[in-house]
A = this chain, B = another copy of it.
Amino acid sequence: MRTLTVEVMVFNVRAGALETLLVRGPGNVWGLAERPVSPGRGLAREAEAALAEQTGVRGAELEQLFTFDRDDAHVATVGYLALISAERHPVTPGQDVVEVRWFRTDDLPDLRPEQAEALQYATERLRAKASYAPVAFVLLPDLFSMGELQSVYEAILGSSLDARNFRRDVLAAGVVEAAGRTRSGGPGRPAQLYRWRGGGFSVVPSERRVARAMGTDRE
């Protein structure tokens, strides 16, 4: 009696590109982490469970996206959106899962058309969300440079930002504080490091709107 399921669309940013987490089941077909809903447990809880069971990812922030029609036996599915750092959340295939892998969002394997559509919608919502909620901090380590912060936003928004405006607006928004340290590491001048300060993390956006959104409380 699988009348209702949940499914989870998970995103990450790596090397300046947006990535999606998919699972490959016994049928050798890639798809989203999903799970039938049992009464009394709460939809968000079920979505967390689906994600934990099938990919090993725990503790992600989930946001309900949309409830999609499905076929006759499987009436509907409630889609959830999550944004996590791949480094902090190693994935391990659960039972009934052959493989779990990140795919670049612009280069996905074949998916069932409903899921491809749902992912398309999720990408749009994630972009919109970046302009009103401080979405990037879950993806970054505790200390990060302005350049890293900016490139996370560029990957999510799919467009490039002006570094001077970005820096000015982020600092003016006061959502970030200088850690007082710098990091040399690679080539180029060492970067000042920042840490995020603020309570929590959580449409054609401007740079200032992105910056202001970083100060918004979760949801």
Contacts and interface: CB of A to CB of B under 8 A. Distances in A.
Given A39-B75, A43-B76, 12 more contacts: A1-B3, A3-B3, A4-B4, A4-B76, A37-B75, A39-B72, A39-B73, A43-B67, A64-B67, A67-B78, A76-B78, A132-B203
Interface string A61-93: 000101101011101101000000000000000
A69 B78 CA distance: 11
A54 to B, nearest CB: 21
Interface of A: 1, 3-4, 37, 39-40, 42-44, 64, 66-67, 69, 71-73, 75-76, 78, 132, 203
Contacts of A42: 69
A43 B76 CA distance: 8
A67 B67 contact: yes
A40 B71 contact: yes
Interface of A is mostly: loop
The 3 closest A-B pairs by CB, nearest first: A40-B72, A39-B72, A67-B67
* Copy total for this chain: 2
Residue of A3, A37, A64 most packed against chain B (CB within 10 A): A3
A185 B150 CA distance: 59
B64 A43 contact: no
Contact of A3 (B4, B64, B67, B71): B4
Contacts of A64: 66-67
Nearest to A44: B69
Contacts of A203: 132, 203
A203 B73 CA distance: 38
Given A64-B67, A76-B78, A39 B3 contact: yes
A82 to B, nearest CB: 17
Contacts of A43: 67, 69, 76
A75 B4 contact: yes
Contacts of A39: 3, 71-73, 75
10 contacts: A1-B1, A3-B4, A3-B39, A37-B75, A37-B76, A39-B75, A42-B69, A44-B69, A64-B67, A67-B67
